[in-house]
Amino acid sequence: MNISEFGINKALEILGVKKNNLGSSTGSTFFSSGKNIDSFSPVDGKLIASVSSTTNEDYEKIIKTASGAFIQWRSRTAPERGELVRQFGNKLREFKEPLGKLVSYEMGKSYQEGLGEVQEMIDICDFAVGLSRQLHGLTMHSERPGHRMYEQYHSLGIVGIISAFNFPVAVWAWNTALAWVCGDVCVWKPSEKTPLCGIACQNIIASVLKENNIPEGVSCLVNGDFKVGEFMSKDTRVPLISATGSTRMGKIVASEVAGRLGKSLLELGGNNAIIVSPDSDIKMTVMGSVFGAVGTAGQRCTSTRRLIIHETIYNEVKSALVEAYKQLKIGNPLDESNHVGPLIDTQAVVSYNKALTEVVKEGGKIIVEGGVLSGDGYESGCYVKPAIAEAEANFNIVQHETFAPVLYLLKYTGSVENAINIQNDVKQGLSSSIMTNNLREAELFLSVNGSDCGIANVNIGTSGAEIGGAFGGEKDTGGGRESGSDAWKVYMRRQTNTINYTTDLPLAQGIKFDL
């Protein structure tokens, strides 16, 4: 593939991403010490650029700079901080096309999805600007006469952000836009599989910081493998760690942070299901299921993994899905005529092949054949065919999340309660959906006796989330909430205040001192 045809070199130039980039940053200053991390594109297998990893000495410099910046940043009013975020959102509008192309080329998602991810960044900036004038507390009536009691929220400090490769820029923005208006400063470790997206974002925000004379350290970048994440997780100077990734990774982070009594916000694995009721709209079901299963090549945390279909319409839905999969085009994600791009790397291909082997071993049946594509246009070895398998809910492979376009069809009988039980009978609890025109089924699905996931939808798929709603899940998904609603509260510390405006001092439990 000739990348110049799609403007990748120009995009890298605009974003300030060079062949040999400096790896760590305290804002506008980049510096380098550690060994190189090579970023290869899953699109064509070519080396894009190299980034230096963060050493322990680099990390110490960054944390000290961030700590100093926090003292100044927290003293600015929330609307002032919101103004910085507003300007950052405008910069993202300016750089939307090149950043979207870099996301597509470095991660492998379609160009339209890359643009959509940058749009999510813009949207969360808009949300955060409004939030900067709404960081509210509560006033309560005191039981003591002549007293006023209320609660307020204060800036927390340094927020450590560990993000995953599948959303290499949006998840950082979800966290950092809110953290900034809350008065926090951020230290971000992007995935070592997509470090250049982190460099590009830091370049964009650095220009905004410089234009506003904001001190270095409000936005910091570290690069490297899990060891850099360990620096952050163990550091008592970082009161909050927001980590996105696998459940295995999240448990390690949670244990380290809890051991020092810090706070963690975890967005971990998903094993998302759509229940297909006899009262569903089949066309909508197929559309939502296909997009959910093959979008981002099945590498979204909200990707559809399981389709739980009532026996009376099972064959109809299965046939429609098989026909829909025949229309999928797999190839270069920068070519907008393609529906499915590559997996992130060959290690992901191994997991994909293992899942297809395991489901057959356990007694399942492949109804849409998978396989790894090779030849012209597929030189990276990361392109695979989206596959569908008939399976049973209790299969071990069905119980686990495979980050690839593999969809399991499960059959249910009887009432929708049986389908809900199947859906809930996995360790993960991120996103869920039901396709039905039956009001009773829809309301039951959303009730306390329904889906146990953090996200529950009716007549839309499992993937995708609006900025205004809190995003996150339960059980092995970690329990964290990001983005909208009142997710901002995790980035602040709560304080209860009582003011006595009398000349008396009543003591608790009626205790009296004769002084």
Pick from 165, 187, 169, 305: nearest CA to 249: 165
| pLDDT tier for residue 30 given thresholds of 50, 70 and 90 | confident
- Does residue 186 have an active-site annotation? no
DSSP line for 456-494:
EEESS-SS---TTSEE--EETT-S--EESTTGGGGGEEE
Summary mean pLDDT of the chain: 96
Asked if residues 294 and 339 have their Cβ atoms less than 8 Å apart, the reply is yes
| pLDDT tier for residue 4 given thresholds of 50, 70 and 90 | low
The CB density around residue 33, as the number of other CB atoms within 10 Å, is: 16
How far apart, in whole angstroms, are the C-alpha atoms of residue 198 and residue 201? 5
| pLDDT tier for residue 464 given thresholds of 50, 70 and 90 | confident
How far apart, in whole angstroms, are the C-alpha atoms of residue 403 and residue 297? 8
Dump pLDDT digits (tens) for 467-489. Answer: 999 999 999 999 999 999 999 99
- Does residue 151 have an active-site annotation? no
Give the three-class secondary structure for 447: coil
| pLDDT tier for residue 5 given thresholds of 50, 70 and 90 | low
- How many helices (H) does the chain have, and how many strands (E)? 15, 24
Share of the chain above pLDDT 90, in %: 92
Tell me which H or E stretch contains 241.
strand 240-244
Share of the chain above pLDDT 70, in %: 99
How far apart, in whole angstroms, are the C-alpha atoms of residue 51 and residue 30? 11
Instruction: Decide if pLDDT at 433 tops 90.
Output: yes
Instruction: Decide if pLDDT at 1 tops 70.
Output: no
More confident residue, 515 or 177: 177
How far apart, in whole angstroms, are the C-alpha atoms of residue 297 and residue 108? 9
Helix, strand, coil shares, percent, the chain, to 5: 40, 20, 40
Instruction: Decide if pLDDT at 3 tops 70.
Output: no
Catalytic residue among 267, 401, 441, 482: 267
Q: Which of 18-22, 160-164, 340-344 has the lowest mean pLDDT?
A: 18-22
Dump pLDDT digits (tens) for 226-252. Answer: 999 999 999 999 999 999 999 999 999
How far apart, in whole angstroms, are the C-alpha atoms of residue 484 and residue 124? 8
Dump pLDDT digits (tens) for 489-511. Answer: 999 999 999 999 999 988 777 77
| pLDDT tier for residue 451 given thresholds of 50, 70 and 90 | very high
Dump pLDDT digits (tens) for 333-388. Answer: 999 999 999 999 999 999 999 999 999 999 999 999 999 999 999 999 999 999 99
Q: What is the mean pLDDT of residues 447-466?
A: 95
How far apart, in whole angstroms, are the C-alpha atoms of residue 177 and residue 483? 9
Give the three-class secondary structure for 196: helix
Catalytic residue among 220, 301, 382, 453: 301
pLDDT of residue 6: 77
How far apart, in whole angstroms, are the C-alpha atoms of residue 52 and residue 35? 6
Q: Which of 271-275, 306-310, 437-441, 462-466 has the lowest mean pLDDT?
A: 462-466
Whole-structure pTM value:
0.96
Q: How many CA atoms lie less than 13 Å away from 188 in the CB half-sphere? A: 38
Dump pLDDT digits (tens) for 298-327. Answer: 999 999 999 999 999 999 999 999 999 999
Pick from 224, 260, 254: nearest CA to 242: 254
Tell me which H or E stretch contains 371.
none
| pLDDT tier for residue 109 given thresholds of 50, 70 and 90 | very high
Instruction: Decide if pLDDT at 44 tops 80.
Output: yes
pLDDT of residue 58: 95
Instruction: Decide if pLDDT at 394 tops 70.
Output: yes
